């Protein structure tokens, strides 16, 4: 800061900013020259799996059929009764809507159909639609 005394007007006061600009430029050069040491966190990246993620194709509609001889099928592929719940859980795991249909043979007793219906509810199927042979004829 410079001051000048004397003269007709009295004391003059002017701010001299040249030394401040010099200091600013020196600091800028120092921070540009100093290398910044960047240290990141170690991350484990996901690896690609060798096989396909989902070997079973995901059908659009799920139809569980109970044949006259007691055989259970999901969309035409035969499934053992004790594997029905796990298979339905895998099929419905990636779905937003957990709707399935149950089609039973007319000659079956209600107990066999009710057992399959109970397994479907235990697998998380909700709601369950019932198909009859009359509905299939009208398609």
CATH of the domain at 129: 3.30.420
In Å, what is the CA distance from 55 to each residue of 82, 98, 109?
Answer: 21, 20, 35
pLDDT score of 80: 92
Assigned domain for 50 exists: no
Q: Is 35 a residue whose pLDDT tops 80?
A: no
Domain that includes residue 83, residue range:
63-137
At 45-102, the pLDDT tens digits run 888 877 665 555 666 788 999 998 889 999 888 999 899 999 999 888 888 888 999 9
Q: Which residue has the higher pLDDT, 56 or 118?
A: 118
Q: If you ran DSSP here, which 8-state letter would residue 98 be given?
A: -
Strand partners, 130: 102
Nearby residues of 56 by Cβ (< 8 Å), 6 or more positions away: 90, 91
How many independent structural domains does the chain possess? 1
Would you place residue 25 in the very low, low, confident or very high pLDDT band (cuts 50, 70, 90)? very high
**One-character DSSP codes across 75-87:** TTEEE-GGGHHHH
């Amino acid at each position: 800061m410079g001051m000048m005394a004397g003269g007709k007007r009295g004391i003059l006061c002017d701010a001299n900013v040249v030394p401040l600009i010099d200091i600013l430029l020196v600091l800028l050069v120092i921070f540009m020259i100093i290398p910044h040491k960047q240290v990141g966190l170690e991350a484990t990246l996901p690896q690609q799996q060798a096989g396909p993620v989902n070997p079973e194709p995901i059908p659009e509609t799920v139809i569980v059929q109970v044949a006259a001889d007691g055989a259970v099928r999901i969309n035409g592929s035969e499934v053992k009764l004790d594997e029905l719940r796990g298979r339905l859980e895998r099929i419905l795991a990636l779905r937003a809507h957990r709707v399935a249909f149950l089609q039973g043979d007319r000659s079956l007793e209600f107990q066999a159909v009710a057992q399959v219906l109970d397994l479907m509810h235990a697998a998380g199927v909700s709601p369950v639609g019932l198909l009859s042979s009359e509905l299939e004829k009208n398609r």
